[in-house]
Amino acid sequence: MQFATVDDVRLLFDKHLPAEYRAKFGWRQLAALLRRAAQGREDAAEVAAALHLILQIEHVPYRVVC
């Protein structure tokens, strides 16, 4: 899965992330960050940084494509 937009991250969270992960603190924080970004109150770069961090913490393999 590639993430090009904040909405891509939201889709990951809503459609692909198991409930037991969504209940964890880090993922809940990411969800709140996504809501603020969708409202224009947070920069998409903050979402990218938070996603990068949570994926590392959870040991989820991913790669960055620029």
Indicate the DSSP class of residue 54.
H
Is 62 a domain residue?
no
For 14-44, letters b (16+ CB in 10 Å) and e give: eeebeeeeeeeeebeebeebbeebeeeebee
Residue 35 in 3-state DSSP?
helix
Number of domains in the chain: 1
Residues whose CB is less than 8 angstroms from the CB of residue 30 and which lie 6 or more positions away in sequence, other chains included: 9, 13, 47, 50, 51, 54
- The answer, yes or no, to whether residue 8 has pLDDT greater than 90, is no
Is 24 a domain residue?
yes
- The answer, yes or no, to whether residue 58 has pLDDT greater than 60, is yes
Q: Which pLDDT score is estimated for 39?
A: 87
- The answer, yes or no, to whether residue 3 has pLDDT greater than 80, is no
- Tell me how many helices (H) and strands (E) the chain has: 4, 0
Is 29 a domain residue?
yes
- The answer, yes or no, to whether residue 64 has pLDDT greater than 90, is no
Is 18 a domain residue?
yes
Per-chain mean pLDDT for the chain: 84
